[in-house]
Structure 1
Amino acid sequence: MEAAPKYPQASTYQHSTLPEPVSRETPLSNVTDTTKESFYHPTQVPVGHIYEQPRPNKSWIRWPFLLLAGLFIAVIAGLAGGFIGKAIEGSKAHNSNEAHASACSSAVPSPTSNSTASPTPEAIVVPKTGCTDTGGRTSSVNGNTFQTDFSNATYKLFCNVDWVGKDIASVYATSVSDCVETCDNVNQDNLINKTCIGATFVPAWVDRTLALRNVNRPSNCFLKYDAQGYPGNKREDEVVVACLEGKCPQG
């Protein structure tokens, strides 16, 4: 006899206290085509390529930096150009000064030992009168006569004679003939009411130092308006007189 099939014992049903779920269907018409497209056709990424998000554009950050860099470079270039220009001008000026100094130095003769040495005073030449030294200072007529250039007046020369005093004027003469010419000019110009009858001449006093030492003035020719005889020379230096012919004193 077959045994009757055993059925599982029915479980005891317990009623749940949770709300019963309600299913809600979303109509397909509310889904846009774009959603469908992106859902069914996703973005294709090449195999082996890593997709990166696009980086933000940083060109707006670079422009200020480039502008500042350009201004800085321009300023540096301007300063460098100015310094270089000044250096070139300074070099040109220096070279010009050196060239000028070289030209000046070449134009100026180099000093010699003679130029640096103190100048030697020239020897004073005492003019000759034609008189001979008698040793005793004896007055004499040597026979010489002078004829003036302006009026052709004749003057006689007396050696070792010294007329003292009665001067019209005293002048500086380089020779006895110059002294006579001065006397003749006084007579021709008629500047005074006296006639120059002759002159006393001291040859050694062409050295004005000696003249100042003896008569306190730089003169060696003394013009006379009068003379008495032919007194002998008592000076250490040679003295001669010349008198206008016709005006010479009596011996």
Structure 2
Amino acid sequence: MSPRYDEAPELIPQNFPEVHQPSAAPEVANTYGQHTSATPVKPEESAGYTGFAPVEHPPPSSFTYDYQTGYGPTLPSEHGRARQRILGCSVLVFILSIIIALLSTAVIGLAAGTGVEASRANDAEARLAALSASPTTVTVTAPGPTSSDFSAIDKGCSTNSAGVTGTDYESQFYNNPSFKIYCNSDAPNNPLSSLFVGNFDDCIDACASYSFYIPSHFPSNSTSGNATCAGVSFIPAWTNRTFAFDGGAPGNCYLKPGPQNQTALNNPNIGGSAVHAAILDTQS
């Protein structure tokens, strides 16, 4: 069977681009009035020539144009992110404003404090000048002790001598000797010993202690008059050692030997200070 014309393979239809032939180069006038044709540019010498008309594509949004380097990637600070601002100001300007405000406050406070201190200094100088212009002499007299100051240490003789005179005091130690109190009186005879005590009771107990220990420690003197304390003289003002030192007194309690009796008591005469006596009660 003879082949038919329509049994041959069919060609796939192709849409080939048309080749663009560049137009003839324009003539260029030379300096002598003659026309010379410009050297044509070969299609293969033009960069990127493919035979198609060039299509310009806009640069992507992530690129920016620079006049020296052309298009380049957009930096993060220039694309997609705005600069941080505080109260309409940049962060740097805001921080500088705070620093300036703090420094201004410190300067104002320092100036105010300096002014106050200067004012005080001027006032002090003015007062000193006034005192220098009219000096005054101030005499301070230390008040001496009064009788009421000693009522707690003299068994009440300073405030109630009549009520206390003639009363008895019995020592709690040294075989419990008893003494009779006489306010505003001084026991006679030279003292056996002097000492500082806290109150009238301690002075009487010291007398009882003397009579207890001396005979036992000095048996040979047990029969002498100096072995027994028969009375005391107590000066309450000299309990304060400052007053005692000023009066040259070595104590405020003086132990006296016998004999002692009421009729032998002296009126005190020790610079106006009160003296109270206690004598051993031989009848007890």
Q: TM-score, normalised by structure 1?
A: 0.43
Larger radius of gyration: 1
Q: TM-score, normalised by structure 2?
A: 0.38
Larger RCO, structures 1/2 (Cα 8 Å, 6+ apart): 1
